[in-house]
């Protein structure tokens, strides 16, 4: 592939909010497409909306992308040959394009006021005509335009469309699409405040940045005919377009806050592994050839990603599926990585020590590897390891309450745990052998004895394996907790 035809794609967020799930998926598809084709992934910040754009959102978007491991080749903090990468820094480029179009008589000045446009609209509605700008300023002669400009009259610049022009393109996702220019306005390219409109800036930038493929949400389909007309007016090559379907909530309406968290960073805070989240996002609309394969590494995605395998229908965001996928990643993590991921959540546990033995913690967290789907769940589940239980699950109390001599049994086990001569070892298997033997010797069910110990040691009814956790707690803590339980709930 020669350099001139190398794939160049872009993600062009407006910094008016955090990186949301839909934006992240658009970024991801562009990134995967670039990596698949050995191309370039450009990040461009569309910050011309001065009122709504904020630096903090630029930061949030960059942080969100970095968290997902989506790296850009050109863009903020990574200057390339086609910058600047913030639209507000590209004003001279828009101005040059405007001058060129004005010279070629492709643009005209429109002095219609808001009231004039409103009246036009009302009349068209009344006459059941399509609502659009009727082009009345097209015919203003040069002298009048010059006079009105000199007097400082407010105006916009509009693109002069030809009647009956057909605009069609072969969308890489939707197939052939076609629009008639008769349904379009003479679109505004420069607003009365002197700023370029979105449609104009995006075209100038995509041309200037040599973008070959525009991969974006299908909510932009209605902008594409306008943009194509601008490419034509500029005499520039039109890129290929792929309008990918929206992400939907479980009720099949467009994913929004009422369905739950929509910002990528919320998922970080909920304890998702970025690779798992990215893997899940990739499958929101795309499927690899072997669609039984769901856990995909970055490299597997790079090798297989293609727009032709992106569905043309909306993809439903399913939190349960995402949680399942996160759990799959957790299962495969090394003990060290898992501990690193869990440490911020372990630190929230009351009684978590300021200094700790990493190996001991690794052993503890490995007990939970199969029991958590997101990292934050460890806070609620592992508390008993760091502090004696202060509360006991009422269901467990009710159940163990039915075991005759509960307190006496707890005391006997506590005493035996402390007895280094009687119970010489305190390994998992030592504990198991002792407890099963104790149940048999006292005529109790093993399940009842184990359930009682679980409740006394952890306060919970659902925990990792009792013998393992008791071995990790150690003889002294186990003994003390059994005795304390016996004291709290005398028969
Ligand atoms: N700034 C636009 C947006 O955030 C970009 C649209 C495009 O990709 O052309 O929706």
Nearest-CA residue for ligand 1 atom 10 is: 13
- Ligand 1 atom closest to the CA of 12, numbered from 1: 5
Contact 231, 203 (CB under 8 A): yes
pLDDT at position 387 over 70: yes
Dig out the tokens for 287 from the structure. 């499927």
Sheet holding 107-110, edge to edge: 107-110, 156-159, 188-190
Averaged pLDDT for residues 278-295:
94
Nearest-CA residue for ligand 1 atom 4 is: 13
Task: Catalogue the active-site residues.
Answer: 257
Pair (136, 266) in one structural domain: no
Q: What pLDDT is recorded for position 378?
A: 96
pLDDT tens digits, residue range 451-491? 999 999 999 999 999 999 999 999 999 999 999 999 998 87
For residue 336, the CA-to-ligand 1 centroid distance in Å is: 40
13 lines ligand 1 (CB under 6 A): yes
Which residue in 227, 225, 187 sits closest to 203, CA to CA? Answer: 227
Which residue in 442, 453, 382 sits closest to 417, CA to CA? Answer: 453
Q: Range of 47's domain?
A: 1-76+245-332
202 lines ligand 1 (CB under 6 A): yes
228 burial level (CB within 10 Å; 0-12, 13-18, 19+): buried
Last residue within a domain, chosen from 308, 332, 356: 332
Angular region, 224: left φ>0, alpha ψ -120 to 50, beta rest: alpha
Instruction: Give the DSSP letter string of 177-233.
Output: EEEEGGGS---EEE-TTSPBPHHHHHHHHHHHTT--EEEEEGGGGGGHHHHHHHHHH
pLDDT at position 341 over 50: yes
Q: What pLDDT is recorded for position 406?
A: 92
pLDDT at position 3 over 50: no
Averaged pLDDT for residues 204-226:
97
Averaged pLDDT for residues 339-364:
92
46 lines ligand 1 (CB under 6 A): yes
Pair (384, 433) in one structural domain: yes
Which residue in 422, 445, 462 sits closest to 430, CA to CA? Answer: 422
pLDDT at position 12 over 80: yes
Pair (321, 251) in one structural domain: yes
Averaged pLDDT for residues 97-121:
96
Q: Has residue 26 been placed in a domain?
A: yes
Q: Has residue 70 been placed in a domain?
A: yes
- Rounded-to-integer distance, Cα 374 and Cα 199, Å: 41
Q: What pLDDT is recorded for position 183?
A: 82
Biggest CA–CA distance in the chain, Å, is 110
Last residue within a domain, chosen from 332, 365, 393: 332
12 lines ligand 1 (CB under 6 A): yes
Pairing status of strand 156-159 against strand 188-190:
antiparallel
- Rounded-to-integer distance, Cα 211 and Cα 10, Å: 7
Question: Which one of 13, 208, 231 would you pick to mutate in the ligand 1 pocket, going by the greatest count of ligand atoms within 8 A of its CB?
Answer: 13
Average the pLDDT over each of 21-25, 291-295, 319-323 and give the range with the smallest value.
291-295
Q: Has residue 83 been placed in a domain?
A: no
The more confidently predicted of residues 183 and 198 is 198
pLDDT at position 303 over 80: yes
Q: What pLDDT is recorded for position 1?
A: 43
CATH number at residue 428: 1.10.10.350
The phi, psi pair for 241, rounded to 5°, reads: -115, 140
Q: What pLDDT is recorded for position 431?
A: 98
Pair (300, 316) in one structural domain: yes
Q: Give 442-446 contacts, CB < 8 A, sequence gap 24+.
A: 442/409, 444/403, 444/409
- Rounded-to-integer distance, Cα 17 and Cα 359, Å: 41
160 lines ligand 1 (CB under 6 A): no
Cis amide linkage into residue 19, ω under 30° from 0:
no
Q: What pLDDT is recorded for position 354?
A: 84
For residue 140, the CA-to-ligand 1 centroid distance in Å is: 34
Q: What pLDDT is recorded for position 124?
A: 94
Report how far apart, in Å, the C-alpha atoms of 161 and of each of 175, 182, 225 are: 25, 9, 12
Averaged pLDDT for residues 299-320:
95
- Rounded-to-integer distance, Cα 148 and Cα 108, Å: 13
- Rounded-to-integer distance, Cα 164 and Cα 162, Å: 6
Q: Has residue 54 been placed in a domain?
A: yes
pTM metric for this prediction: 0.92
Last residue within a domain, chosen from 305, 332, 359: 332
Contact 229, 181 (CB under 8 A): yes
For residue 22, the CA-to-ligand 1 centroid distance in Å is: 11
HSE-up of 211 (CA within 13 Å, CB side)? 30
For residue 322, the CA-to-ligand 1 centroid distance in Å is: 26
Question: Which one of 202, 246, 254 would you pick to mutate in the ligand 1 pocket, going by the greatest count of ligand atoms within 8 A of its CB?
Answer: 202
14 lines ligand 1 (CB under 6 A): yes
Pair (96, 214) in one structural domain: yes
Q: What pLDDT is recorded for position 2?
A: 45
Pair (175, 211) in one structural domain: yes
Question: Which one of 10, 30, 207, 220 would you pick to mutate in the ligand 1 pocket, going by the greatest count of ligand atoms within 8 A of its CB?
Answer: 220
Q: What pLDDT is recorded for position 285?
A: 95
DSSP state of 286: B
Pair (270, 348) in one structural domain: no
For residue 218, the CA-to-ligand 1 centroid distance in Å is: 11
Pair (112, 220) in one structural domain: yes
Pair (102, 121) in one structural domain: yes
244 lines ligand 1 (CB under 6 A): no
Which residue in 305, 263, 295 sits closest to 33, CA to CA? Answer: 305
Q: Has residue 82 been placed in a domain?
A: no
Question: Which one of 9, 12, 44 would you pick to mutate in the ligand 1 pocket, going by the greatest count of ligand atoms within 8 A of its CB?
Answer: 12
Pair (235, 268) in one structural domain: no
Q: Has residue 491 been placed in a domain?
A: no
pLDDT at position 350 over 50: yes
Which residue in 203, 216, 8, 237 sits closest to 90, CA to CA? Answer: 203
Mean pLDDT of the chain: 95
Counted domains in the chain: 3
Q: What pLDDT is recorded for position 260?
A: 85
Contact 230, 203 (CB under 8 A): yes
Pair (308, 435) in one structural domain: no
CATH number at residue 205: 3.40.50.620
Q: Has residue 85 been placed in a domain?
A: no
Averaged pLDDT for residues 309-329:
96
Q: Element (H or E) spanning 168, and its range?
A: strand 166-171
Q: Has residue 84 been placed in a domain?
A: no
Pair (164, 224) in one structural domain: yes
pLDDT tens digits, residue range 402-458? 888 899 999 999 999 999 999 999 999 999 999 999 999 999 999 999 999 999 999
pLDDT tens digits, residue range 251-272? 999 999 898 889 999 999 999 9
For residue 12, the CA-to-ligand 1 centroid distance in Å is: 5
220 lines ligand 1 (CB under 6 A): yes
Rg (CA), the chain: 32
pLDDT band at 32 (very low <50, low <70, confident <90, very high): very high
């Amino acid at each position: 592939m020669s350099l001139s035809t190398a794939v160049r794609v872009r993600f062009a967020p407006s910094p008016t909010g955090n990186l949301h799930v839909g934006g992240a998926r658009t970024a991801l598809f562009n990134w995967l497409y670039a990596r698949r084709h050995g191309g370039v992934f450009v990040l461009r910040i569309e910050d011309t909306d001065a009122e709504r754009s904020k630096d903090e959102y630029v930061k949030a978007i960059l942080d969100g992308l970095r968290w997902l491991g989506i790296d850009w080749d050109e863009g903020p903090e990574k200057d390339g040959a086609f910058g600047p990468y913030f639209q507000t820094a590209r004003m001279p480029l828009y101005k040059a394009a405007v001058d060129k179009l004005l010279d070629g008589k492709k643009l005209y000045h429109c002095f219609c006021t808001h009231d004039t446009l409103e009246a036009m609209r009302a009349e068209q509605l009344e006459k059941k005509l399509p609502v659009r700008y009727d082009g009345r300023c097209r015919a203003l002669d040069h002298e009048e335009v010059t006079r009105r400009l000199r007097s400082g009259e407010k105006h916009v610049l509009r693109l002069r469309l030809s009647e009956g022009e057909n605009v069609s393109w072969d969308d890489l996702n939707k197939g052939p699409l076609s629009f008639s220019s008769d349904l379009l306005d003479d679109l505004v390219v420069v607003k009365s405040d002197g700023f370029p409109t979105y449609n104009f800036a995006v075209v100038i930038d995509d041309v200037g940045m040599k973008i070959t493929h525009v991969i974006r949400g299908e909510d932009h389909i209605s902008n594409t005919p306008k943009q194509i007309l601008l490419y034509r007016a500029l005499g520039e090559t039109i890129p290929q377009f792929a309008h990918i379907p929206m992400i939907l909530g479980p009720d099949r309406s467009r994913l929004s806050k009422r369905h739950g968290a929509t910002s990528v960073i919320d998922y970080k805070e909920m304890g998702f592994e970025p690779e798992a989240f990215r893997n899940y996002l990739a499958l929101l609309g795309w499927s690899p050839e072997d669609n039984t394969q769901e856990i995909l590494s970055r490299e597997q995605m790079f090798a297989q990603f293609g727009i032709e395998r992106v569905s043309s229908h909306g993809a439903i965001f399913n939190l349960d599926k995402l949680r399942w996928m996160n759990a799959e990643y957790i299962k495969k993590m090394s003990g060290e990585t898992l501990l690193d991921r869990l440490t911020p959540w372990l630190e929230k546990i009351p009684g978590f020590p300021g200094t700790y033995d990493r190996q001991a913690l690794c052993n503890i967290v490995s007990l939970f590897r199969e029991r958590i789907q997101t990292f934050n769940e460890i806070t609620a589940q592992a508390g008993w390891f760091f502090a004696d239980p202060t509360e006991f699950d009422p269901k467990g109390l009710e159940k163990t309450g039915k075991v005759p001599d509960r307190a006496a049994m707890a005391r006997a086990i506590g005493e035996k745990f402390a007895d280094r001569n009687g119970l010489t070892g305190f390994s998992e298997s030592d504990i198991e052998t002792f407890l099963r033997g104790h149940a048999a010797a006292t005529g109790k069910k093993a399940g009842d004895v184990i359930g009682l110990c679980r409740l006394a040691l952890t306060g919970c009814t659902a925990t990792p394996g009792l013998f393992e956790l008791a071995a990790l707690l150690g003889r002294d803590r186990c003994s003390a907790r059994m005795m304390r339980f016996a004291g709290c709930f005398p028969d």
